[in-house]
C-alpha cells in the first residue's frame, strides 16, 4: 500500500492564480480531510469528507473548494490564491473504530508559496 499520496510536493503561485492539490489513498478509508499547518497554529481543518459525494467545511474553509467523486481521491482547489494561503497542506484519510476512536493517516504534505 502506498498509503496517502499528495502531489505536488512544492508549488509557487502568483496571487490570483488557481490550482488543485491532489490527494489519493489506497486503504479504502471512508473519511478524508484537508488541513493546513502554519507556524504556531498547529493543524487547522479546511474541509473533510465522510464518504464519496459527501463533503463539509472545517474550521478555515474560505478560499478552498473540495469534491469527492471516488473513495480514493479528494482534491483541494484554491480558487484565487492569496499570500495568506502560503502554508503546508496535509491530506489525511481515516477510519473510525468504535473502541479506538479515529485513526488518521497523513500524507507527506504540499508546501505552497503564494507571491
Partner 1 sequence: TQLLEQSPQFLSIQEGENLTVYCNSSSVFSSLQWYRQEPGEGPVLLVTVVTGGEVKKLKRLTFQFGDARKDSSLHITAAQPGDTGLYLCAGGYTGTASKLTFGTGTRLQVTL
One residue of 61, 63, 75, 108 binding partner 1 per CB under 8 A: 108
46 touches 64 (CB < 8 A): yes
Q: Fill in the per-residue mask, 84 to 103: x = in contact with partner 1 (CB under 8 A), - = not in contact.
A: ------x-x-x-x--xxxxx
Contact call for residue 71 and partner 1 (CB under 8 A): no
What would the x/- binding string for partner 1 be over residues 19 to 58, using CB under 8 A? -----------xxxx-x----xxxxxx--xxx-------x
Grid look-up 499520496 returns 5
Residue with cell 502531489: 7
Three-state SS at 83: helix
Q: CB atoms < 10 A from the CB of 19, how many?
A: 15
Write down the least CB distance from residue 14 to partner 1, Å: 25
Amino acid at each position: 500500500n502506498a498509503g496517502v499520496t499528495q502531489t505536488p510536493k512544492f508549488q509557487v503561485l502568483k496571487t490570483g492564480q488557481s490550482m488543485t492539490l491532489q490527494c489519493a489513498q489506497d486503504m479504502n478509508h471512508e473519511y478524508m480531510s484537508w488541513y493546513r499547518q502554519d507556524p504556531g497554529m498547529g493543524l487547522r481543518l479546511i474541509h473533510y469528507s465522510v464518504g464519496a459525494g459527501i463533503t463539509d467545511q472545517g474550521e478555515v474553509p474560505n478560499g478552498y473548494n473540495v469534491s469527492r467523486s471516488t473513495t480514493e481521491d479528494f482534491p483541494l482547489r484554491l480558487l484565487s490564491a492569496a499570500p495568506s494561503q502560503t502554508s503546508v497542506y496535509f491530506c489525511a484519510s481515516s477510519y473510525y473504530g468504535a473502541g479506538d476512536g479515529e485513526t488518521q493517516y497523513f500524507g507527506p504534505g504540499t508546501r505552497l508559496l503564494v507571491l
